[in-house]
Structure 1
């Protein structure tokens, strides 16, 4: 099998892994003739950094051979799919060639498990080592970590990679046992705990290093602490492969954020696979459900929402017709309107239409003078969405937010009806 055939198989096999955003790492580039690659450039876009930059990643598996037989995985041992396997030098050369053609800015590398977790992880780490040490590659590298791999390999992986990730696969231990009985939920959690320990140790070492300008003239410079996964760790869970509702998924995510200080939890809507087992659903969940989970995840991470207050429906599912923040506001009309001139930051963040940056702009503007309704447009805020939930000088909502929302929904349906 030639390299192009391998690439077609192993790039396609990696498409189900969503946890490959490249945000959070340190800025590096090859300016000045040193090294190859960058974590900042733009090319064919595969993921986005928090500031909106497009980061292109070569996203492949080292191999899609796997000794596990997880029912939800197209690459499971019993699956009838074409198999391929890269050599370490082939992945290195592909990464460098794609970068030189300005197609990518980094590498996302995962793998099926062959022989043993340590055997597989050793080859994955060797790819990153060769790129960093042999070719001085300075682009972004994200490695998928194999649970139960040795601590020595974890340390080596963190030395070369910007981000490490271990997939929890499913939101609950019961779901994992039912659909992936060969995987050990305890081993996954232990590996995530070890990653957090190493990341925390590195951050503690960095804090102990004094700034050079603060050192006495005669004092020797403190050694820079060893690098370890500066972009932290992330994970991914499959949505819709088992019966776990959105309330349970968000509860699991909240536990992961609290226990392991994850940078991100990624949600991947289950996609039906060929020759699927009867234990799996026949249809994929709506993609809007995945989107709503990401929105709810942001509410937990940046807006001060607790996981157990986001989902109010008796069936434990997020509403698909409106975003979770608006759904919460409509279910708690008694807490509105919020006074933009006096409300604290935590209450402004709960107003539909106000994001983190918008709230910062409002807080800064009201230090100068009291806000009026027309100031929302000057601050480039969505006044139509915000005004039903707030009061400012010269404006107080005439109707309850739910009534306004329902009237607008009826109007939208009437406008769309002639189109069909």
Structure 2
């Protein structure tokens, strides 16, 4: 690798680290007898697949030149940073070279916008096309959708990419206008709707014609920057919920803002990124997608912010103690899922196991539930008492004290892990 390519790689890989929407799952692109790579089982990099495996990819920008001046972006045109740009051939060669050396399992390719949207998108498409057709590359490819790009280019991109994503940036239109007046959420909604329509159309055609080509088989995702503008957790999650429902997104990613410039509209340089808040938003997202919660149950006008000291599932349970305790041997699956300390896997085990007899506390512990947390919200076959008027403040205190006592038992040199 030449020194110039190495320098470009250092600049453009570093600039790409602020985009966290590089996870993937759901692609089933098979390898051919003479092809290279396989996205059907390994997913993509710098994240975890649905079954827990960690995989890697080449995550870079095509260029960090940009015609926009978004205050929150390190690649904005007014920022005094070193600029670089790959050629189409350089990205293809890097991807193939890294893959042959077993460094990566796919490519995540984004870009600043230089000249105009079509000029940039056309180069992203050429890279994916050359990898697929000229290099017979069957590994995972995640392409960023460039807002404002033509439908013809988006269609072509969808034929070669496994996943496509376009960043929403700020949770609300007002927040986006505050920091990036030249951008609009409408510029994001149009390509999302177009790709979604294409995915549905291809699925319908494939039922009739088996040879119909794949089109964005791993779906679409987006990213929301949190902490740069003053939206509440409720506004953030309501926005995410809208995009899940209207555009059938696979994932919404929440990226805590890292202060990169002096700007009185945003947090000061040196401020800590809102990592705990980011984690709580992901937990809420999980409850919406896998636990049957409606976003309005978790966040509403009375509760516009997520609790800092406890997770959103426990917070909901403590605010709705009239539903608890539930009888673990008779409650429906939906209510079992809502018990703090019981995950999806454990809930399924409980639902199946109780067909063979009433469940006791020792059996529940063996199923992997967090019993010290769940015990405040359930009754089982050997429960010796039932709280007639459970006090949520008291229960919260007990759970927090038990959690803190676990951390106190951890050796000092391991506390940083938590």
| Pick aligned residue for 2:22 from 1, 20, 23 | 20
Which of residues 283, 286, 300 in structure 2 aligns to 1:295? 283
Aligned pairs, how many?
404
2: CA distance, partners of 1:127 / 1:138: 13
Cα distance in 1 between the residues matched to 2:202 and 2:347: 33
> Is 1:93 equivalent to 2:84 in the alignment?
no
Please give the TM-score of this superposition, normalised by the length of structure 2. 0.91
Is 2:106 the partner of 1:106?
A: yes
Report if aligned partners of 2:373, 2:399 keep a CA contact under 8 Å in 1: no
**What is the distance in 1 between the residues matched to 2:94 and 2:351?**
49
C-alpha displacement of 1:106: 0.4
Partner of 1:279: 265
C-alpha displacement of 1:230: 0.3
What is the CA distance between 1:45 and its match in structure 2? 5.5
- Counterpart of 2:325 (choices 314, 329, 337) is 337
Provide the residue aligned with 2:144 in structure 1: 144
SS in 2 for 1:141: strand
1:334-368 per-position Cα deviation (integer Å, ceiling 9, x unaligned): 21111111111111110111112211111111222
1:349 correspondence with 2:358: no
Q: CA RMSD in A?
A: 2.3
Q: Which residue of 1 aligns with 2:398?
A: 407
Gap change, CA 1:264 and 1:406, over 3 Å in 2 = same
Q: What is the Cα deviation at residue 24 of structure 1?
A: 1.5
Matches within 5 A, 1:206-285: 206=206, 208-209=207-208, 222-274=209-261, 276-282=262-268, 283-285=271-273
Task: State the match for 1:217 in structure 2.
Answer: none
| Cα distance in 2 for residues equivalent to 1:67 and 1:367 | 63
Q: CA deviation at 1:68?
A: 0.3
For structure 1, the 5+ residue unaligned runs are: 210-221
- The Cα shift of 1:409 comes to 2.7
Per-residue deviation, 1:377? 2.5
The secondary structure found in structure 2 opposite 1:60 is strand
* Kept in 1: contact 2:44–2:140 (CA 8 A): no
Structure 1 residue 133, shift from structure 2 partner: 0.5
- Residues of 1 paired with 2:363 and 2:72: CA distance? 51
Contact 1:43 1:103 in 2 (8 A): no
The answer (yes or no) to whether the contact 1:164–1:234 under 8 Å persists in 2 is yes
- Runs ≥4 in structure 1, deviation > 6 angstroms? 41-44, 414-420
Measure, in 1, the Cα distance between the counterparts of 2:329 and 2:304.
Answer: 35
DSSP 3-state at the match of 2:14: helix
Question: 1:393 pairs with 364, 381, 391, which one?
Answer: 381
Contact kept, 8 Å, 1:23 with 1:50, in 2: the verdict is yes
Aligned twin of 1:218? none
Deviations 1:264-315 (A, max 9, x none): 00000001013x3221121344201001100000111111111122136857
- Distance between the aligned counterparts of 2:350 and 2:401, measured in 1? 31
Q: 1:95 to 1:415 in 2, by over 3 A?
A: closer
Question: Is the 8 Å Cα contact of residues 43 and 49 (structure 2) preserved in structure 1?
Answer: no
Separation of aligned partners in 1, 2:384 and 2:125: 60
TM-score computed with the length of structure 1 as normaliser: 0.91
Q: Which moved more, 1:399-408 or 1:73-82?
A: 399-408
Residue 66 of structure 1 is matched in structure 2 by 66
